[in-house]
Amino acid sequence: MRYKIIAIGKIKEKYLKTGIENYLKRIKAFGKIEILELKEAKAKTRAEVQVLESTALLKAAKGYTIVLDEIGKQFGSKELADKITQLENSSISQVSFLIAGAEGHSKELKEKANLLLSLSKLTFAHEMVRLIMLEQIYRIEAIRSGHPYHRD
């Protein structure tokens, strides 16, 4: 499986950059991963920012589109690994994870997504979500390959 994380804005915190680099290296042992950072939109209203950023996210997405959103479905790590295997068995070879900026996703993007995914009932800073998602992608691939990183 090829993974693409598409996110609004750049990571500013050094500790997040370090964690992201760590998981990118780990994931590359299993396959391809790409992170694409898009510019934050400048607009007068929150709704306009959402539309501009969501349009850019969707345009950059490839394959099966998973939008990370607090109202999405929650999976356990094993369940998410099973979902990725199911997609792969259905001839889907790429998954794009879309991460909004501070203003969130537009309603239209949520409707166009193949899946809305919630990482938790908790709310996380959008910059932290990249690191959390990378750890989960690594965990998914560890589960799928029988690597001891994830133990039942």
Report the C-alpha gap between 116 and 144 in whole angstroms: 22
pLDDT confidence of residue 152: 61
* Domains identified in the chain and CATH numbers: 2-145 (3.40.1280.10)
For residue 126, pLDDT over 90 is answered with no
Average confidence (pLDDT) over 123-148 = 93
> What's the pTM value of the predicted model, to 2 decimals?
0.94
Report the C-alpha gap between 49 and 72 in whole angstroms: 21
Give residue 66's pLDDT band: very low, low, confident or very high (50, 70, 90).
very high
pLDDT confidence of residue 147: 84
pLDDT confidence of residue 94: 97
- DSSP letter at 45? S
Report the C-alpha gap between 150 and 143 in whole angstroms: 6
Mean pLDDT of the chain: 95
